[in-house]
Amino acid sequence: MPQTLDEMRKGCAKARSRMQEARNNHWAFGAFNLDDEPTLIAVAKAAKKHNAPVLVEVSQGEVDDIGLLNIRDLVDNTKDTYGIEMYVNLDHSPSVEAAKEGIEAGFEFIHIDISQANHQDSDQEIVQATKEVVEYAKLTGASVESEPHYFGGSSNLHTEKIDYDEIKKTFSTPEGAEKFVRETGIDTFAAAIGNLHGKYPVPKVLDLDLLQKIRNAIDCNISLHGGSGTPGHYFRDAVKIGVTKININSDMRVAYRNTLVKVLQDNPDEYSVSKLISKYVVDAVSEIVESKLVDFNSSGKAVIDY
Ligand SMILES: [Zn+2]
């Protein structure tokens, strides 16, 4: 059943205050990609086991596949069934219109990513479109996240190594972050400090000194995209510095696929693939989520008030 406007406002207000608490107490929300129902269950099981607050998130591809209102209902029903603290984020929303639809569906978090969808857009166009979403989000109180330039990589398993000299050119700067936050009024700044979408054959390296400088330059929340394949100690330090949202996708997808391939091979006579997914894949993905909840220091931090 769709949420009423009052329910949306209540959910968004709680999400906002919980982000502030995360910052005050040095823990971060894991934002885990919701590819399908089994991945949602995997996140819910991990959140329950660790009594950890979580975000699940969908990009436009999942929105097209599942539907915004179905996602909202799936998350609400799962939250109630498991008795967990869970919010939903619209990740890399490609247009103002798509972001507005997410706000109207009651998503507590909206990531507007104009630059990724339109590489040729000017800084001014990106700021203008982001501001429009910030303004519209006042309808429900949804938190808006963005960044001035698109992130590299894609949420997949990559075989190439990471060319940090190239990547460094796209890092956030404290001055750029301050200007973008001031001009747009966003709630969460998505920092680029060595984080990169996807999983690579080499571990990622985060520039924590730069993160600290960005933290000092802005007063809003800070998120890290492209968390997969990052050694846990970086997350533990980033959370101490003040990051409150970390996106994980590829690590879960790799566990999902590798486990599924193996169990299909091991069970050549089983044609109920969904049965194999429930029995084996969900736990494999859930283990990945659990390890992140510990690194993000969100284990034990859930507030259940319904
Ligand atoms: Zn991302």
Distance of CA 190 from the midpoint of ligand 1 (Å): 9
Distance of CA 154 from the midpoint of ligand 1 (Å): 8
Say which amino acid occupies 12. Answer: C
Distance of CA 229 from the midpoint of ligand 1 (Å): 14
CA distances from 148 to 89, 121, 160, 267, 287 (A): 19, 11, 26, 48, 34
Say which amino acid occupies 127. Answer: V
Domain map (residue ranges) of the chain: 5-251+286-295
**What's the CATH number for 5-251+286-295?**
3.20.20.70
Question: What is the model's pLDDT at position 162?
Answer: 81
Catalytic residue list contains 35 = no
Positive or negative torsion for Cα 278, 284, 285, 291: positive
Token pair, residue 222, equals 């800070």
Kind and range of the H or E run holding 155 = strand 153-157
Distance of CA 296 from the midpoint of ligand 1 (Å): 17
Cα–Cα distance measured from residue 31 to residue 227, given in angstroms and rounded to the nearest whole number? 10
SS3 29: strand
Is residue 196 within 8 Å of 153, Cβ to Cβ? yes
Among 35, 91, 187, 207, the active-site one is 91
pLDDT tens digits for the chain (306 residues)? Answer: 789 999 999 999 999 999 999 999 999 999 999 999 999 999 999 999 999 999 999 999 999 999 999 999 999 999 999 999 999 999 999 999 999 999 999 999 999 999 888 888 899 999 999 999 999 999 999 999 999 987 777 778 888 888 888 888 889 999 999 999 999 999 999 999 999 888 888 899 999 999 999 999 999 999 999 999 999 999 999 999 999 999 999 999 999 999 999 999 999 999 999 999 999 999 999 999 999 999 999 999 999 986
Question: What is the model's pLDDT at position 118?
Answer: 83
